[in-house]
Structure 1
């Protein structure tokens, strides 16, 4: 009980870290809901509700398959899955830990383990949700064909990585101003409801409107994702590697902010909160 844990070599240290990340990921998944299966069902229902709402909105407006030459429902789901994974990764990483939380006082844990556990829990939930919804749609309603599954899956992971990098910036701001961090995180998530471009096809946007969306890595991710999904669609207004370079830059900025914050962060900061 009172024996200090020591790693004898690099392999043992890596194994210990991965074991901690695994258990922290499971802990985050179980804290969302007492029943793991019901927690996954609730995650899937969030995506299904988004799909139904957007499908109903497009039907009322009168916009149908003219948006893109392909499965119209797959076109809607492609934007929703990328959007949900990205914004939830931002929120999970931004609220992953605090120096005043009780769990951080346990010696084996550290900030990297808590951040990794929160991020991987989101990736697991959204990946299972995406695969189940697509499988049910394929087997029950209409068969679907994905032109490049590897490319589509890669962009799915890049959207998660980009969300984690942006969430790391908000996490570094959080100790200095918790309320401002919550507001900024919520504003970013709400702005991406429209700025992500999941409502429309990027190739059809007028040139004078494009600069309002071109800054957003999620806009590029969703449009490029549709290029991998549909054989008849080729993105011309977005860049494939822009989200990756944006994520790397955000990751570096987030690490700098967090390393600087950790030098000055104190438990007493949370006394007045």
Structure 2
């Protein structure tokens, strides 16, 4: 119970890092999501790609891709930037790196979930009513996008003290590559086989396509599955926690003294 209480307090602190007022911190996240959706909406409209999307609500098509992408990428960045063993926060008992990781993961899940609910409410009341074919499955895919992001972020966090510059570059490459490789702008069933092979390695690509399968009644994913992201998450979390434990035993505050 003490650990759960500490994780809650640390998560609240994480939420308020972007702004002293927690409400404004959440509103900034909502505004970022709305701007992201608006940008993609106008881009799809200008290039005439709306006709190539799935038959159904076009806003839901955008939401299934954009929110999964944002949640995944923010989870990667948040977990990678969590306090390590040499952080000043570790001097405050009973704070530890596990609590730092859990609080970082919960804070990004909280802000993104509130942002998603606010955006869904706005679209449902202002634009047109929203209907999900199987909302429990769509919700599980959203959580899986968050979990895969946490797993990737944990791997990067464990490796960061050893190769900080290299890991930072890898994280930037991963974030930029997922702008395309996540498949949020494409429909997997309409992609040629050569492109499928280029995207198939990415667990987020599977998550987004499966989320659209649960969201739309007339879309059935043929090239993706939800098992691969799940197994990827479990294996990456195992390796990441092992690496973090090894790093915690060997890391020193003086490692970066020469930088």
TM bucket normalised to smaller: over 0.9
Q: Partner of 2:120 in structure 1?
A: 134
Q: Partner of 2:257 in structure 1?
A: 271
The reply on whether 1:63 has 2:40 as its aligned counterpart is no
Q: List runs of 5+ in structure 2 lacking aligned partners.
A: none
Q: 1:197 aligns with which of 183, 190, 207?
A: 183
Q: List runs of 5+ in structure 1 lacking aligned partners.
A: 1-14
Taking the aligned partners of 1:75 and 1:65, their CA distance within structure 2 comes to 12
Q: 1:150 aligns with which of 136, 141, 165?
A: 136
Quick check: 1:85–1:123 contact (8 Å CA) kept in 2?
yes
**Equivalent residues in 2 for 1:1-150, closer than 5 Å:** 15-150=1-136
Quick check: 2:85–2:96 contact (8 Å CA) kept in 1?
no
How far did residue 66 of structure 1 move?
Answer: 3.5
SS at match of 1:269: coil
| Structure 1 residue ranges (4+ consecutive) displaced by more than 3 angstroms after TM superposition | none
* TM norm structure 1: 0.92
In structure 2, do the counterparts of structure 1 residues 259 and 99 end up closer, same or farther at CA, with 3 Å as the change threshold? closer
Out of 38-47 and 262-271, give the one that drifted further. Answer: 262-271
Q: Partner of 1:244 in structure 2?
A: 230
SS at match of 1:268: coil
Q: Partner of 1:257 in structure 2?
A: 243
How many residues were matched structurally?
259
Taking the aligned partners of 1:185 and 1:75, their CA distance within structure 2 comes to 27
Q: Deviations over 1:132-166 (max 9, x none)?
A: 10011001110110111111111111111111111
How far did residue 182 of structure 1 move?
Answer: 1.6
Larger Rg: 1
CA RMSD of the aligned region, Å? Answer: 1.0
